[in-house]
Chains A and B, each alone.
Chain A
Amino acid sequence: LAKTTQPISMDSYEGQEVNITCSHNNIATNDYITWYQQFPSQGPRFIIQGYKTKVTNEVASLFIPADRKSSTLSLPRVSLSDTAVYYCLVGDLLAEDDKIIFGKGTRLHILP
């Protein structure tokens, strides 16, 4: 089971790029890295998923170095509405005794 470590909280300003890094030193060969966003009183929402190198979609980019022991979620030009909790997940549900762990996530606060 690959455990993840993220900063508890981060502050940034509108219009800036925000990078949230997640450490997962014990990531397994078949594990993927997935990021979710959660607003208060709502269920988490999938943002992006990757295995290695770089993945980009209309919302964010995910950077994964060659050793895959960490990953960085990059949010371009954030706005106040990006204030939320961001979770980094690593795991393989089909692996024996592996369970998906959300952790406490990173509370991102965007300031005007």
Chain B
Amino acid sequence: NAGVTQTPKFRILKIGQSMTLQCAQDMNHNYMYWYRQDPGMGLKLIYYSVGAGITDKGEVPNGYNVSRSTTEDFPLRLELAAPSQTSVYFCASSYSFGTGSYEQYFGPGTRLTVT
């Protein structure tokens, strides 16, 4: 299994440009997540999905959009990029065992710089 894969690894965007960060998992997990991590800080949840066709906002959703058309893929769309979106973006997936916490598997991250 490849686990959770993310593309691209690095990207530089100009202010106002748009892009899609790709995330895929091959573990048949029903939960998927997008986080951002600013330097020296913890991870902040942007969006998450509990299954194909179902998404919900996390802690910091403004400026982002997601879709979940398949179990495997969970792309994150940035519209009108701003310098405040410069960060490292992590995708994760998990197989929920019901209520309570659960083990998340993280991808290697995408380092995005907006200038």
Chain A residues within CB distance 8 Å of chain B: 30-34, 36, 41-46, 49, 51, 87, 89-95, 99-105
Instruction: Find the residue from B33, B42, B98, B101 having the highest chain A CB count within 10 A.
Output: B101
Q: How far is the CB of A42 from chain B (nearest CB, A)?
A: 7
Cβ–Cβ contact A99 & B59, under 8 A: yes
Q: Interface majority SS on A: helix, strand, loop or mixed? A: loop
Chain B residues within an 8 Å CB radius of A46:
103-105
Stretch of B11-19, B64-72, B76-84, B106-114 at the chain-chain interface: B106-114
Chain B residues within an 8 Å CB radius of A104:
40-42
Chain B residues within CB distance 8 Å of chain A: 4, 31, 33, 35, 40-45, 48, 50, 58-59, 90, 92, 96, 98-109
Q: How far is the CB of B16 from chain A (nearest CB, A)?
A: 28
Cβ–Cβ contact A90 & B45, under 8 A: no
18 contacts between A and B (CB under 8 A): A32-B102, A33-B101, A34-B101, A34-B103, A36-B104, A46-B103, A49-B103, A92-B101, A93-B48, A94-B99, A99-B58, A100-B33, A100-B101, A101-B42, A102-B42, A102-B43, A103-B42, A104-B42
